Amino acid sequence: MLFFPENLLVRIPALLVAISFHEYAHARMAYAWGDHTAKYQGRLTLNPLAHLDPIGLLMLLIVRFGWARPVPINPLNFRDRRKGLFWVSLAGPGMNLLVGLVSTFLLFILRGSGPLAGAILENLVIYNVFLAVFNIIPLPPLDGSKILTSLLPGRYLYFYRAVEPYGPFLLILLLVFGLLPVFLIPVSYVIIDLYRSLVLLFMGS
């Protein structure tokens, strides 16, 4: 997750909402597919304290890259392992896109309600969209890798499994050499602009 806003007063609430809804969506979808692991470990909640990783949060504040506690799942409990893995993995980014869209509507509806509320909503849009786009990158341990493995046919899945252990190192290299924003920023702002266009169209502005 990349870090853009500088004001802690507006970025922390937005960040906590984005992380909490993302992890809750994973837990809720896993529960719906028959896996109760997350529920038993107290992760079926929107309480940010259940999802925060102290080191990940500290890294986020210091170096602007961090992480939350992954929601524990057991695909063997799913009614259909491949379909369950697909929908559980997609649920997190999908929820972030939904929250980003709702936040865009609220930003337009509540404009004029004060600079603080506007700034928090703006950052809700940014964080949720960026978190969604970041997580669909098909590199472990991101959600995109699990989405991809649930869709690949056997012969391609075998090849992907062979290179999968190197995914985290590739992700680190992308971060270290600053290549990740080349993909992340343009795609995210295309989505944000699309949200604004949809809101303007819906509101007749």
Enumerate the active-site residues.
Answer: 23
Question: What is 155-170 written as a DSSP string?
Answer: HHHHHHHHHGGGHHHH
Q: Which residues pair with 116 in a beta bridge?
A: none
Cβ(147)–Cβ(90) below 8 Å = yes
Residue 35 has phi, psi (to 5 degrees) of: -105, 115
Residues 182 and 176: their CA atoms lie apart, in Å, by: 13
Residues 99 and 192: their CA atoms lie apart, in Å, by: 12
Q: Is 204 helix (H, G, I), strand (E, B) or coil?
A: coil
Residues 171 and 1: their CA atoms lie apart, in Å, by: 12
Q: Is 76 helix (H, G, I), strand (E, B) or coil?
A: helix
List the one residue out of 112, 136, 116 whose CA is nearest residue 124: 116
